[in-house]
Chains A and B, each alone.
Chain A
Amino acid sequence: EAAVTQSPRNKVAVTGGKVTLSCNQTNNHNNMYWYRQDTGHGLRLIHYSYGAGSTEKGDIPDGYKASRPSQENFSLILELATPSQTSVYFCASGDAGEQYFGPGTRLTVL
């Protein structure tokens, strides 16, 4: 199974601050994804990437940027964090078939 790691695992930020969530995968998958999950809901896609240098908007991209500097790394950036971005964020990687998920980052914006 693909190994996907995320850092930090927990983060408390202040409104208006900048937050960067990092994701690393070690199985050489081309595609990587950022989702958020809110209480009682499924996952919603924020941004994704087809490979190094590429980023694509998902279903809820507003307020978020993404960066894919290498095959292994994919970051999610909140330039001006807001309380509505308090959530659990999951990174995933995959190719034409299955997606494999990281353990999640719990972000609280005060």
Chain B
Amino acid sequence: GQQVQQSPASLVLQEGENAELQCNFSSTATRLQWFYQHPGGRLVSLFYNPSGTKHTGRLTSTTVTNERRSSLHISSSQTTDSGTYFCAIDNNAGAKLTFGGGTRLTVRP
């Protein structure tokens, strides 16, 4: 089945530093979604990005489909960025997403 690997597993930054989160997957993705999970537990969709580059605010997602990888770049990190970031893949145009293990980000003031 589809495998999704995220790296690093955890990351600690000082406020203002940039972060680069990686997602690698074993089969071509027809859907790819990045999520942020609040420390309280709610999952929020950041990007739906099966290919190309998308920006929103300080966040940029880049997916290179034929290399089976995606990245999430966070610029000028803030303490409120702390939480866990997940990428999730669907590779058969069906309904199912397979999640990576997540990257836990801590931004210190």
Residues of A within 8 A of B (CB): 1, 31, 33, 35, 41-45, 48, 50, 56, 58-59, 88, 90, 94, 96-101, 103-104, 106
Contact = CB atoms under 8 A, between A and B. Distances in A.
Nearest to A105: B41
- The interface residues of chain B, by DSSP majority, are classed as strand
Nearest to A94: B95
Chain B interface bracket (under 10, 10 to 19, 20 to 34, 35 or more): 20 to 34
A48 B94 CA distance: 11
B25 interface: no
B106 to A, nearest CB: 15
A42 B37 CA distance: 10
Contacts of A48: 95-96
Which residue of B42, B45, B93, B101 has the most chain A CB atoms within 10 A of its CB atom? Answer: B45
Given A35-B99, A96-B93, 4 more contacts: A41-B102, A45-B97, A59-B1, A106-B41
Contacts of A56: 95
A87 B69 CA distance: 30
